[in-house]
Amino acid sequence: MNSPNRQFIISIVVFAVTVLIGFVGYQLAGWSVLDSLYMVVITIFGVGYGEVQELSPGLRIFTLVFILIGCTSLIYAIGAFINWLTEGQLKQMLGRRKMHKEINKLSNHTIICGYGRVGK
């Protein structure tokens, strides 16, 4: 797997793990599923609506660390996505898919190669 694809996949995995850790952290604090998910989203995306519930000192530290890690992983994922696009990976992937569709449409065809530069 080439570097931009690998970097993009790694960034998505890192971001997903970060979201999961945040969600589980708020669940362990006794929050509901909806409150945990809501807090993860507003924390990572920097919305800043405020806490859903009162935070204990330990949960404040968790949230502070989660803000730093969550925002960093989001920025990394966005950067990897932009790198993936600019490196032409999307265009190459779509072109390859189109070529495979065209090849699959072919039937009863014969390919003739000469003994030249291409046919060696």
Vertex 53 angle, CA 50 and 57, to 5°: 90
Q: Residue 39: inside a domain, yes or no?
A: yes
Q: Residue 113: inside a domain, yes or no?
A: no
Q: Residue 118: inside a domain, yes or no?
A: no
How many angstroms separate the CA atoms of 37 and 26, rounded? 8
Count of domains in the chain? 1
Q: Residue 119: inside a domain, yes or no?
A: no
Q: Residue 114: inside a domain, yes or no?
A: no
SS3 for 34-46, per residue?
A: HHHHHHHHHHHCC
pLDDT one-digit tens code per residue, 7-29: 999 999 999 999 999 999 999 99
pLDDT one-digit tens code per residue, 28-70: 999 999 999 999 999 998 887 778 888 899 999 999 999 999 9
Q: What pTM did the predictor assign?
A: 0.70
Q: Residue 93: inside a domain, yes or no?
A: yes
In the chain the first and final C-alpha atoms are separated, in Å, by: 28
Q: Residue 45: inside a domain, yes or no?
A: yes
CATH number where 52 lies: 1.10.287.70
| Residue 54, domain extent | 3-105
